[in-house]
Amino acid sequence: MLDYKKKPFEYFMHTRGEIISEVPIGSESVLEVGCAEGKTGAVLKREGRGRHVVGIELMGEAAEKAKNVMDQELIGSVEQMELPFAEGQFDVIILADVLEHLFDPWLTLRRLKFYLKPNGRIVVSLPNVRNWRVSMPLFFRGKWEYQDEGIMDRTHLRFFTRAGMMKMLRECGFETKKIVPTGKRSKNFLRLHMSALSELMAVQYVLVGQLNKQ
């Protein structure tokens, strides 16, 4: 099992505004995989973005706290557990900073799409391995060093570029409707948003996908 127990306490307490904003107001049922202590779920419920919010969390201590917020909370690995959901149960499925930690994120996405409504959406965030802080040291100095947090977090098992993220969603039956880079929100970053250099600046991408009907 990966070393999540070594993560600082604050790791499980964050909310993600860029994720929350992609969940439509009025959503009936939302599944958040990797919900930590349920901080994001609490905001979703408060803002009317999820009447019924279900969480899955690997770490027991964080999951126990999430039970105070979520309408239903499952403790364990999404890759290993039997999921007690109905076909087409969810309007939105969130996987924020999750897929990079999985042994087989492709299989997980294919499993989860069974539980998504035909007009529902999946909201994913993934770190961008092409960011200059990773790609430049690798290219010029041959350095590929794991760290305690960030893009090169030592608990990450999979690494993706922007193109690789979209390819994974496509292979798993989703059409990417929106992809937004995240990073330091400077004026220069915003100017680069639509340029080729934006991928070197982006720390993460938030992707919104829908089931491919073809």
Q: How far apart are CA 16 and CA 125, in angstroms?
A: 10
Q: Quick one: average pLDDT of 60-72?
A: 96
> How does the average pLDDT of the chain come out, rounded?
90
pLDDT band at 35 (very low <50, low <70, confident <90, very high): very high
Structure tokens at 119: 């007009």
Burial label for 164, CB within 10 Å (0-12, 13-18, 19+), is middle
Give the global pTM: 0.89
Sheet strands (E) in 106-149? 116-127
**Residue 10 pLDDT exceeds 50:** no
Burial label for 189, CB within 10 Å (0-12, 13-18, 19+), is middle
Lowest mean pLDDT among 40-49, 76-85, 115-124, 183-192: 183-192
Structure tokens at 200: 């070197």
**Residue 64 pLDDT exceeds 70:** yes
CB count in 10 Å sphere of residue 192: 18
pLDDT band at 9 (very low <50, low <70, confident <90, very high): very low
Q: What topology is assigned to 4-15+23-211 in CATH? A: Rossmann fold (3.40.50)
Where would I find the H helices in 17-91? Answer: 17-20, 39-46, 60-66
**Residue 69 pLDDT exceeds 70:** yes
CA of 126: how far to CAs of 38, 44, 46, 66, 145, in Å? Answer: 19, 20, 26, 23, 19
Q: How far apart are CA 56 and CA 46, in angstroms?
A: 19
**Confidence at residue 28, expressed as pLDDT on a 0 to 100 scale:** 98
**Confidence at residue 7, expressed as pLDDT on a 0 to 100 scale:** 47
Q: What percent of the chain clears pLDDT 70, i.e. is strictly above it? A: 87
The tens digit of pLDDT for each residue in 142-158 reads 999 999 999 999 999 99
Q: To which H or E segment does residue 167 belong?
A: helix 162-171
pLDDT band at 3 (very low <50, low <70, confident <90, very high): low
**Residue 186 pLDDT exceeds 80:** no
**Confidence at residue 194, expressed as pLDDT on a 0 to 100 scale:** 52
Q: How far apart are CA 88 and CA 90, in angstroms?
A: 6
Q: How far apart are CA 48 and CA 59, in angstroms?
A: 27
Q: Quick one: average pLDDT of 44-73?
A: 97
**Confidence at residue 59, expressed as pLDDT on a 0 to 100 scale:** 95
